[in-house]
Amino acid sequence: MLKDEKMTETTMTIREMCDAYDVTPRTLRFYESKELLFPIREGQKRLFTKRDRARLKLILRGKRFGFSLEEIRQLLDLYHMGDQQHTQLSRTYEIAQERLADMERQRDELTEAIDDLKAQLKWGEKILASMEDQKKAAE
């Protein structure tokens, strides 16, 4: 197998990455500018390695859970600590616990707001029905 053939098996173009991970080229370039991804540059062409693909999966998962890009970058940087990822996993666990508490608090606030809005709608329905009754009685 030629070197170029082997490289194309292990790398993906920006278009292939976009299709595989449902992201835009702009997103990939942004993550690269934030030093979250490190594609191989061949002129204007970017080739993403298996490592980049693994990092992108973690970035997208972190974003889904509400981690900031800075938190994600710091966590990815902890991979190379040389302690079988213990530091990375411990810190990820801590941030995830904090994020879960935030999400649960937001959910509770949202549930309360929904309940309040439902009560206001019921009150509004009664007022409107009363007004309709008064209008019909006046006719």
Tokens of 89: 């996993």
Phi-psi region of 43 (alpha: psi -120 to 50; beta: other; left: phi over 0): left
Along the 139 residues of the chain, how does pLDDT read in single tens digits? Answer: 334 444 456 899 999 999 999 999 999 999 999 999 999 998 889 999 999 999 999 999 999 999 999 999 998 888 777 787 888 889 999 999 999 999 999 999 999 999 999 999 999 999 999 999 898 888 8
- Is pTM, for the whole model, over 0.75? no
Structure tokens at 113: 């707001």
Domains of the chain: 1-64 (1.10.1660.10), 69-139 (no CATH)
Whose CA is closest to 73, among 92, 49, 90, 98?
Answer: 92
Backbone angles phi, psi at 41, to 5 degrees: -105, 125
Cα–Cα distance, 85 to 2 (Å, whole number): 34
10 Å Cβ neighbour count for 36?
Answer: 20
Structure tokens at 32: 């690269």
> Could you read off the pLDDT of 50-72 as tens digits, one per residue?
999 999 999 999 999 999 999 99
